[in-house]
Amino acid sequence: MRAKVCCGTACTATGAYKVIDTFKTEAGKRDVSLEIVKTGCQGLCQKGPVLKIEPADIFYQRTKPENVSWIVGYTILGGAPYRQGLYRDNFLSEPVPLMTEIPFYKKQLRIALRNNGRIDPCNINHYLAVGGYKALEKALLSMTPDDVLNEVDKANLRGRGGAGFPAGRKWKHSKGAPGKIKFVIANGDEGDPGAFMDRSIMEGDPHSLLEGMALCAYAIGAQYGFIYVRHEYPLAVKNLNLAIKQAEELGLLGENILGTDFKFTVDIREGAGAFVCGESTALVASIEGERGFPRVRPPRLSEPGGGPWGFPSNLNNIETYACVPVIVEKGSGYFLSIGTKNSPGTKVFALTGKVKNTGLVEVPMGITLREIIYEIGGGILGNKKFKAVQTGGPSGGCIPEKYLDLSVDFDSLISVGSMMGSGGMVVMDEETCMVDVAKFFLSFTQSESCGKCPPCRIGTSQMLDILKKITSGQGQEGDIERLEDLGKKIVAGALCGLGSSAPNPVLTTIKYFREEYEEHIKDKYCRANVCSGLGVYTIEHSECFLCGLCKQACVFGAVKELRNKFFIDQDYCTKCKACYTACPIDAVKVEKQKHYSVQR
């Protein structure tokens, strides 16, 4: 009997280790032999801690230590599901015992995350048991470097880190570069807020990354590898270090790999908290120990003079490398049979925001946004109305409802003004203010700008100033046009990808939600009631049950009490929103400013 307990970050936070401890004592008490496997993230973060019991293959969610003795009794001793611990859509629907039958997992197809949640990342034997390092063996013993490269090229594996540049083409560049010494670099900076797929691969399945990098090194003739990991991911660093050590011991990394004369070593470099260091040239500068300033290209990384210390290098994203062993082992045909013509394979998304089931989902490309949000994600939280979905993080854009049936792949996302990015997918409902969201992303990029080039340094802070004005009720006629104009100039003038994509969230929200900008500026009103400083605050007397919390909350003394009524004195009200937040039954209303016109 085996219990596979998710020990990803989210499940750990909700108490996975307590559950494990209880399993141990419970198993001891009843004298059952139970193997506990601590796996990486299993995906359904919202419902953690999650675990699977094998071989019965029963999936449990929100497992509390109290439930463990039931699970041991019913499932481990009796082979039957323990109903109360199973997944169900809501409390009226039938519980679902099998993981593969749960709506969240049903439409998923796992390539990059194939082992995540199945194996213990700290034990190389687990990886070997699920067929790990088979691809490397196949490549070294029966394929030439060119064979490997051609297979990846034919599979049209597009970079999963953002822009979707074909990995095969990139590999060819680096292979063709003169020079004996070459590097393979894995980009695990994952600075994009709201994305955590690279983390879960590094933490939950580090060997598939190492195997992918080794295959790349073999194909392009590299000897040294780097994994650049952001310092906020200490567990990733720990598991990767362990994996490297184990692989070296078995002769899968280091000198004479698998008895051939292929040599490849991997070192880890920890980032130090700068978003721009995910950009390829800035990452190189950071590896060299310099400030993470982007450099002018050419030379590209794959050319002499481009990589760290000038050695030609190949840089790919973590998820990209994790797909490589599958392509080499099963052939490009398998990979091409999944996804769309121009975007084959799968993509991992971090589905978050106002959806019911948040977490990591891996889906074939070409699936629609609606399928991801409604079928996998279970729809909008609290049955609110969908407003937009943001993809691509700070470089991406907001996609409105009319494109819900859009196929999710590199090209169609770009066609609506957004992009794949690293795979963050944030769902927004009617309570999200689009101007506020634009301001949020811009303040992120503005504070992360390295400051080397003026369009990005000065331009983004100008745009941010305008957005701040608009959201605080100081917006003026012409602000929207100023934003558009500035945005276009920054896109054209910035040195690196950070600056040239920074205006995207603003430009797409203006494109699709212009009326919300206009409301903020002309009517001084925020329909989502997010921006304080806007609207007219009143108390609806028919709803108010006289608890007085709004009066307590208002530090400006604007809430006045009459004999049996509260009302807001507009002369004192600063629109700080404190009363609105305090009222337990939403009796405080925020309304549009009324425009009275004088009849002549």
Ligand X SMILES: Cc1cc2nc3c(=O)[nH]c(=O)nc-3n(C[C@H](O)[C@H](O)[C@H](O)COP(=O)(O)O)c2cc1C
Nearest in space to 239 (alpha carbons), one of 305, 294, 318: 318
Residue 458 CB, shortest distance to other proteins, in Å, is: 19
Query: How many residues are recorded in the chain?
Result: 600
Q: Where are the alpha helices (DSSP H) in 472-572?
A: 479-493, 497-501, 504-518, 549-553
Residues at the site binding other proteins, with contacts judged by CB under 8 A: 9-10, 12-14, 45-46, 48, 181, 190-196, 199-200, 224, 226, 231-233, 265, 267, 269-275, 286-292, 309, 311, 350, 352-354, 358-360, 390, 393, 424, 426, 428, 432, 437, 440-441, 444, 450, 581
Residue closer to ligand FES, measured from CB, 193 or 305: 193
H-helix or E-strand containing 98?
A: none
554 binds, among ligand SF4, ligand X, other proteins, none (CB under 5 to 8 A by kind): ligand SF4
> Considering CB under 6 A, how many residues would be counted as binding ligand X?
24
- Closest-by-Cβ residue to ligand SF4 is 499
Residue 185 CB, shortest distance to ligand X, in Å, is: 9
- Give the x-and-dash track for 254-293 against ligand SF4 (CB under 6 A): ----------------------x-----------------
User: Bridge-partner residues for 538, per DSSP?
Assistant: 589
Nearest in space to 212 (alpha carbons), one of 317, 284, 337, 142: 317
Residue type, 343: S
Q: Is the bond preceding residue 55 a cis peptide, omega within 30 degrees?
A: yes
- Residue 5 has, within 13 A of its CA and on its CB side, a CA count of 27
- Give the x-and-dash track for 468-507 against ligand SF4 (CB under 6 A): --------------------------xxx-xx--------
162, 419 in Cβ contact below 8 A? Answer: yes
- Give the x-and-dash track for 531-570 against ligand SF4 (CB under 6 A): ------x---------------xx-x-xx--------x--
Residue closer to ligand X, measured from CB, 26 or 192: 192
- According to CB under 6 A, which residues from 440 to 469 bind ligand SF4? 449-453, 456-457
Give the integer Cα–Cα distance in Å for 11 and 43.
Answer: 10
Considering the rule CB under 6 A, would residue 235 count as an interface residue with ligand FES? no
As a three-state string, the secondary structure of 177-213 is CCCCCCEEEEEECCCCCCCCHHHHHHHHCHHHHHHHH
Residue 29 CB, shortest distance to ligand X, in Å, is: 47
Give the integer Cα–Cα distance in Å for 499 and 450.
Answer: 9
- According to CB under 6 A, which residues from 439 to 498 bind ligand X? 496-498
Residue closer to other proteins, measured from CB, 34 or 381: 381
Considering the rule CB under 6 A, would residue 95 count as an interface residue with ligand FES? no
317 binds, among ligand FES, other proteins, ligand X, none (CB under 5 to 8 A by kind): ligand X
Report how far apart, in Å, the C-alpha atoms of 363 and of each of 46, 156, 345, 360 are: 18, 17, 9, 10
Residue 12 CB, shortest distance to ligand X, in Å, is: 23
437 binds, among ligand FES, other proteins, ligand SF4, none (CB under 5 to 8 A by kind): other proteins
Considering the rule CB under 6 A, would residue 194 count as an interface residue with ligand FES? yes
- According to CB under 6 A, which residues from 420 to 449 bind ligand FES? none
Considering the rule CB under 6 A, would residue 193 count as an interface residue with ligand FES? yes
Other Cβ atoms less than 10 A from the Cβ of 55: the count is: 8
Considering the rule CB under 6 A, would residue 356 count as an interface residue with ligand X? no
Strand order in the sheet with 2-6: 35-39, 2-6, 51-54, 58-60
**Cα dihedral 48→53→59→65 (10° resolution):** -40
Residue 338 CB, shortest distance to other proteins, in Å, is: 25
Residue closer to ligand SF4, measured from CB, 452 or 527: 452
Give the integer Cα–Cα distance in Å for 22 and 182.
Answer: 49
Other Cβ atoms less than 10 A from the Cβ of 57: the count is: 11
Residue closer to ligand SF4, measured from CB, 114 or 577: 577
> Considering CB under 6 A, how many residues would be counted as binding ligand SF4?
28
Give the integer Cα–Cα distance in Å for 453 and 166.
Answer: 29
Considering the rule CB under 6 A, would residue 189 count as an interface residue with ligand X? yes
Q: Is the bond preceding residue 49 a cis peptide, omega within 30 degrees?
A: yes
81: three-class secondary structure by DSSP: coil
86 binds, among other proteins, ligand X, ligand SF4, none (CB under 5 to 8 A by kind): none
SS3 content of the chain, % helix, strand, coil (to 5): 45, 15, 40
Residue 463 CB, shortest distance to ligand SF4, in Å, is: 13
270 binds, among ligand X, other proteins, ligand SF4, none (CB under 5 to 8 A by kind): other proteins
Residue closer to other proteins, measured from CB, 74 or 386: 386
User: Bridge-partner residues for 288, per DSSP?
Assistant: none
User: Bridge-partner residues for 54, per DSSP?
Assistant: 2
Residue closer to ligand SF4, measured from CB, 294 or 306: 294
313, 301 in Cβ contact below 8 A? Answer: yes
Nearest in space to 397 (alpha carbons), one of 379, 413, 373, 381: 413
553 binds, among ligand X, ligand SF4, other proteins, none (CB under 5 to 8 A by kind): ligand SF4
Residues in contact with ligand FES by the rule CB under 6 A: 193-194
Residues in contact with ligand X by the rule CB under 6 A: 159-163, 165, 187, 189-192, 275-276, 278-280, 315-317, 320, 422, 496-498
Residues in contact with ligand SF4 by the rule CB under 6 A: 276, 294, 449-453, 456-457, 494-496, 498-499, 537, 553-554, 556, 558-559, 568, 573-579
